Amino acid sequence: MQVAEVIVKILESEGITDAFGIPGAGINPVYKHLALSKSIKHYTVRHEEAAVHAADAYFRASGRMAMAICTSGPGATNFVTGLYTANIDSIPLIAITGQNVTPLLGKDAFQCVDIVEICKPICKAGWCITKAEDVPRILREAFRTAKEGKPGPVVIDLPLDVQMKDIDYDPAKDAPLPIPVVKPDLAKIKKAIEMLNAAQNPIIIMGGGVILSDAYKELVEFAEYMQIPVITTYMAKGGIPVNHPLYAGIVGIQVGIPVGNKLFLDSDVVLGIGCRFTDRHTGDVKIYAGERKFIHIDIEPKQIDKIIKAELGIVSDAKLAIKALLDEAKAKGPKKQTPERVAGIPKLRESMKRKLDFQSMPIKPHRVFYELNKFFHDDKTMFTTGCGLNQIWSGQFQEVSKPRLYLPSGGAGTLGFDIPAAIGAKVARPEHRAVAVMGDFGFTFLVEELAVAATYNLPIIVIILNNAFLSLIRQNQKYAYQYEYAVSMKENHTVMDYIKVAEGFGCRGERVSKPGDIAAALERASKSKVPYVIDFVVEEQVDCSMGPNIAAVKEFCIEEPMETPPAR
């Protein structure tokens, strides 16, 4: 059997049903057999980076892996940003790249680049397969590597001559490799329960690893039994309903919310599960750590003590650890609780909410999120977002109550992630809406993928917060360096017409300048059944709440400003 056909057979066996990519001379043998596959659907994107973002968000939305595939040389190097984006957020995917023939490797041949070496720092693993007989073994190992432990993307680089060779292969005798199970140390589980029972103000951090392990229900059950408040990291947004009586908000110096930071600062013992304690979550580590004791559970041993020194570190799959914690807690019996500690969380949460329902003109960005929360309240909408103040506001303001509905580029903050990610999410879960939330500058990154949405009849909705600035960089220049340069983009409110851009790619859209018109625009977009772009012209210089540490977040937009004329 030809290797190219073997590859497709293995992809089918591993459960791949959707692939995003661009064919080319270096990968055409595989494409020949992709075309014959009855179980894999291929979506031709307009830029290779978009293929990876789509496959990435496909997994975020569904928990199922997809494939990104492209040709050699610049096609392969265009994968890099997408692979980095997936890797830092622990998203598994298979990336297949074409390569020149093996005799020309290392000889500066046309479109011959060592993509595996390039991707080593930003992928979980990579292989350039130079022996045809090694393809089945390595491809199976690639799938296992992507899924096991801390998940991540892997790269398979395929020289053209290897793809075209014949090998002995029997699909009936080949199967996916087992994924190792990482179980917790039960002695440490007992100690964790002892520490939580001895604490006066314990708190639980739900990290993105809880979502990856599909352990969010178990975590909420454990929290309810123990009556411990739950905060989430940005990557776990939606893991617990926003109206749950134990939901204590998100912690962070940017995408955190006031109640989350307050309740964390009041805590004495912290149980962090599937979280990495990264800088946008912690800010100043000394303030964050304080005198608190930390119990850290993570499937990756290297994460323990990497940033925050743990009193107790437990290496385990999140779901298995949480089940063990609950079993141990029930075996010991419920701790004598002080009901007033958690009874006040809903009231405190409501009293500390940031104001969103501004009536002023130009539209304040907060008002857009107020309307998004009102309109998309049925837990049937997935949101993607990349980078900028639009992403931070989204993290702060958007109310999401189920997992796998909020799909951000968290660790990378990748401009251009939003639209192809919405496409991948919509392919993965066609019964849900997919909404990309982005800024006017970010819209121009990978905007050509609107044509993909139109071609495949994927009615994604694109929300542009158009403030005619590189607003996150403007704010950073303003407060960190006391200057402003090269960040104003006035043309985005005047010369640039993003609706014509959308229409040129086969989509529809409209520009909205008044707060009272937001809801009707969302209604038209939702009912249009085609890809739809809404360009919201918002106030140009609005600062976003953030700070150097979680005890010093500076709040903006607390009061209603005086009405000003709309931007033209």
Domain holding 281: CATH number? 3.40.50.1220
With respect to residue 321, please indicate whether it lies within any of the assigned structural domains.
yes
With respect to residue 554, please indicate whether it lies within any of the assigned structural domains.
no
With respect to residue 418, please indicate whether it lies within any of the assigned structural domains.
yes
What's the token pair of residue 63? 């928990």
333, 419: one domain = no
How open is the CA angle 197-258-350, to the nearest 5 degrees? 90
Q: What total of structural domains would you count in the chain?
A: 3
Task: Please answer whether residues 87 and 61 qualify as being in contact, where contact means their C-beta atoms are separated by less than 8 angstroms.
Answer: no
283, 370: one domain = no
- Final residue belonging to a domain, choices 147, 173, 199: 173
| Distance separating alpha carbons of residues 516 and 328, to the nearest angstrom | 53
| Distance separating alpha carbons of residues 452 and 473, to the nearest angstrom | 30
| Distance separating alpha carbons of residues 458 and 25, to the nearest angstrom | 28
212, 161: one domain = no
Domain holding 62: CATH number? 3.40.50.970
| Distance separating alpha carbons of residues 265 and 384, to the nearest angstrom | 30
202, 258: one domain = yes
Residues contacting residue 413 through CB under 8 Å, at least 6 positions apart: 386, 387, 391
156, 229: one domain = no
- Residue 226 to residues 126, 250, 269, 285, 520, Cα–Cα distance (Å): 43, 20, 13, 27, 44
* Residue appearing with tokens 């609780």: 337
374, 439: one domain = yes
275, 418: one domain = no
Domain of residue 299, residue span: 186-351
346, 396: one domain = no
Supply the pLDDT for residue 563: 43
The H or E element containing residue 42 is: strand 41-44
With respect to residue 561, please indicate whether it lies within any of the assigned structural domains.
no
The H or E element containing residue 208 is: helix 208-212
Q: In what order do the strands lie in the sheet with 67-70?
A: 41-44, 18-21, 67-70, 93-99, 153-159, 125-128
112, 247: one domain = no
Q: Measured over all CA atoms, what is the biggest interatomic distance in the chain, rounded to whole angstroms?
A: 76
| Distance separating alpha carbons of residues 101 and 109, to the nearest angstrom | 9
- Final residue belonging to a domain, choices 173, 200, 227: 173
* Residue appearing with tokens 């008044």: 514
With respect to residue 454, please indicate whether it lies within any of the assigned structural domains.
yes
With respect to residue 271, please indicate whether it lies within any of the assigned structural domains.
yes
For the chain of 568 residues, list the mean pLDDT of each consecutive stretch of 10: 98 98 98 98 98 99 98 98 98 98 96 97 98 98 98 98 98 96 98 97 98 98 97 98 97 97 97 97 97 98 98 98 98 76 94 96 98 95 98 98 98 98 98 98 98 98 98 97 97 97 98 98 97 98 97 86 38
With respect to residue 360, please indicate whether it lies within any of the assigned structural domains.
no
513, 411: one domain = yes
Burial class (CB in 10 A: 0-12, 13-18, 19+), 172: exposed
33, 136: one domain = yes
Supply the pLDDT for residue 560: 57
Task: Please answer whether residues 237 and 250 qualify as being in contact, where contact means their C-beta atoms are separated by less than 8 angstroms.
Answer: yes
| Distance separating alpha carbons of residues 308 and 233, to the nearest angstrom | 15
404, 439: one domain = yes
How open is the CA angle 100-101-106, to the nearest 5 degrees? 70
- Final residue belonging to a domain, choices 113, 145, 173: 173
With respect to residue 202, please indicate whether it lies within any of the assigned structural domains.
yes
